[in-house]
């Protein structure tokens, strides 16, 4: 029997966020600070950037530390929460850095779990919908074991996250560490890198530049896109709860890649055409979370309509381009 929605069951005064200078991590740092939580942000800047947290540097509760969690993790003082979000997360990044991706999913998870255990802290692992691979079940529930090719090009990321889930579970069952796992589906919003290879930043920047939007295959493959504010709200609901998970955090609003490209052309007012390119190896054909568990356990569901989230994202990228033009003059 599933219990009712979670209420905040713990007091969190100080949190460690690995990968905190990345796209998603920086939003987590920001929201934790707004809740009155001190934040230690750890990042090796492999894919993250200090610019993502520049606006937080003057906050008295924020500390940025350059740190590679695959080497060693030491944080002096008390810690109530460890959020492990360090990892290359886009195909272009983990295909370029396969060893680093596997190391942060294995050694990085081991070291950050050790930190949480030593401090008696709550630990939340950022897993991913990629653990489902090219799914044979649709939509994907947390009970589904997935369809992953461990020796395919995407395997370094998929298997790193599957291993990290197993390690997190082992710490909970063998050491009693207070752990939770969130499986994050496609998230988008401000602070995404324009060149990170994911569909939304690629489409938005192609449209703003008037270049053709490059859609893989025939564009019929689907994704479910969730605005970053909603994803962060779901992660923090998990962090402040006592649930172990795994819990899917994503938006069930599923759409094809062709429809997404057409939508972005409309939102930007661009005249860009659509070009079709080869479909990447092992690219999932469908992706949509079953969010029943998140709704029942955490009382969470996405609130930002996809059109509104995409509009905000387009506006942010347009503003970034304008700022770059002014600085170049």
What percent of the residues of the chain are helix, what percent strand, and what percent coil, each to the nearest 5?
A: 40, 20, 40
| C-beta separation of 221 from 284 below 8 A | yes
Instruction: Give the C-alpha separation, 54 to 51, whole Å.
Output: 5
In the structure encoding, which two tokens stand for residue 327, read together? Answer: 């600085």
Residues 6+ apart with CB under 8 A from 32: 12, 15, 17, 39, 236
β-partners of residue 216 are 277
- Is residue 157 part of the annotated active site? The answer reads yes
Instruction: Give the C-alpha separation, 295 to 283, whole Å.
Output: 28
β-partners of residue 104 are none
Residues 6+ apart with CB under 8 A from 66: 43, 44, 45
Question: Which residue in 123, 132, 157, 188 is the catalytic one?
Answer: 157
Which residue numbers are catalytic?
A: 157
């Amino acid at each position: 029997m599933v219990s009712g929605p979670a209420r905040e069951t713990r007091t969190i005064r100080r949190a460690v966020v690995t990968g905190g200078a990345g796209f998603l991590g920086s939003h987590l740092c920001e929201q934790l600070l707004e809740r009155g939580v001190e934040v230690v942000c750890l990042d090796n800047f492999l894919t993250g950037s200090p610019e993502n947290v520049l606006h937080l540097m003057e906050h008295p509760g924020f500390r940025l530390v350059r740190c590679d969690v695959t080497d060693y993790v030491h944080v002096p003082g008390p810690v109530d929460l460890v959020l492990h979000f360090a990892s290359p997360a886009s195909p272009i990044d983990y295909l370029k850095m396969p060893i680093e991706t596997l190391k942060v999913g294995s050694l990085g998870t081991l070291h950050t779990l050790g930190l949480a255990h030593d401090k008696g802290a709550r630990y939340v692992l950022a897993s991913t919908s990629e653990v489902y691979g090219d799914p044979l079940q649709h939509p994907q529930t947390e009970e589904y074991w997935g369809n992953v090719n461990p020796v395919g090009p995407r395997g370094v990321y998929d298997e790193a996250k599957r291993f990290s889930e197993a390690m997190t579970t082992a710490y909970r069952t063998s050491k009693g560490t207070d752990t939770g796992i969130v499986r994050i589906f496609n998230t988008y919003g401000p602070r995404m890198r324009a060149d990170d290879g994911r569909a939304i930043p690629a489409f938005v920047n192609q449209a703003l530049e008037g270049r053709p939007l490059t859609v893989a295959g025939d564009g019929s493959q689907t994704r479910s896109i969730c605005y970053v504010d909603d994803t962060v709200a779901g992660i923090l609901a998990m962090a402040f709860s006592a649930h172990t998970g795994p819990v899917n955090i994503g938006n069930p609003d599923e759409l094809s890649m062709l429809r997404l490209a057409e939508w972005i052309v409309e939102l930007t007012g661009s005249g860009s055409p659509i070009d079709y390119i080869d479909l990447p190896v092992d690219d999932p054909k469908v992706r949509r979370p079953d969010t029943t568990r998140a709704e029942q356990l955490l009382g969470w569901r996405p609130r930002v309509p996809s059109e509104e989230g995409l509009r905000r994202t387009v506006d942010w990228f347009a503003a970034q381009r304008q700022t770059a033009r002014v600085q170049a003059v």
